[in-house]
């Protein structure tokens, strides 16, 4: 299972919006586009369901832009993902068992339902504030340190590195350079 591009980039949009709102009263899409390397047009499409869900507020006018609909501490990651892609479940039969003739005795549906429930729990455990706070991110990393893929340096250090379509990728040399620059700039999650 993969999280959709829409959900990934929508969460990135929200993280950068929250981060920029620490510095500015209103944030324009062009600012977020520059940070995320996503087009303003695509960000505007992502903004529509986020506005409909009340997660962001659009401000019209020449100096307009976006605000959060609530404090970052009150916005759960699940709310953001659900606003962007709809109900979260591994299979359609989790939320709509009637679509399957085997729903009443399907052992696989039991597992998909449990996994979907656990995803809900994890996405409800974290807020937007957690993602923009350096101390919170460190604590999350410590709490989940048993998951080796959580550390990007460990992932990039593996010899069997492969580019995927999960996130925008660059050649390994470019990625290593970018990681070093980010570490040296010391402004991650500030």
Q: pLDDT tens, 114-172?
A: 998 999 999 999 999 999 999 999 999 889 888 877 777 777 776 555 555 555 544 55
Interatomic CA distance for residues 87 and 94, integer angstroms: 10
Q: What mean pLDDT do residues 96-109 have?
A: 83
Say what the pTM is. Answer: 0.77
Interatomic CA distance for residues 116 and 41, integer angstroms: 32
Q: Which of 65-69, 150-154, 183-187 bottoms out in mean pLDDT, i.e. has the lowest?
A: 183-187
Q: Cite the beta strand spans of the chain per DSSP E.
A: 56-59, 65-68
Spatial neighbors of 182 by CB under 8 A, at least 6 apart, are: 188
Q: Which residues pair with 65 in a beta bridge?
A: 59
Which range of 1-10, 15-24, 176-185 scores highest in mean pLDDT? It is 15-24
Helix residue spans in 53-188 (DSSP H): 77-85, 92-95, 107-125, 128-132, 134-143, 152-157, 172-185
pLDDT digits (tens, 9 = 90+) for 10-27: 999 999 999 999 999 999
Q: Phi and psi dihedrals of 41, rounded to 5? A: -60, -45
Closest by Cα among 135, 133, 175, 145 to 158: 175
């Amino acid at each position: 299972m993969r999280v959709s591009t829409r959900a990934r980039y929508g969460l990135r949009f929200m993280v950068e919006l929250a981060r920029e709102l620490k510095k500015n009263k209103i944030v324009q899409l062009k600012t977020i586009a520059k940070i995320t390397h996503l087009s303003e047009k695509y960000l505007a499409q992502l903004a529509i369901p986020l506005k409909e869900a009340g997660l962001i507020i659009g401000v019209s006018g020449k100096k307009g832009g976006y605000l959060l609909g609530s404090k970052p501490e009150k916005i759960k990651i699940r709310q953001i993902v659900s606003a962007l892609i709809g109900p979260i479940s591994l299979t359609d039969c989790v939320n709509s068992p009637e679509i399957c003739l085997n729903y009443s005795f399907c052992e696989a549906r039991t597992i998909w339902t449990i996994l979907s429930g656990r995803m809900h729990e994890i996405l409800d455990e974290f807020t937007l504030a957690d993602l923009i706070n350096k101390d919170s991110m460190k604590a999350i990393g410590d709490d989940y340190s048993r998951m080796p893929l959580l550390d990007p340096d460990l992932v990039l250090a593996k010899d069997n590195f492969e580019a995927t379509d999960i996130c925008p990728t660059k050649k390994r040399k470019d990625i290593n350079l970018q990681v070093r620059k980010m570490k040296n700039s010391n402004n991650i999650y500030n």
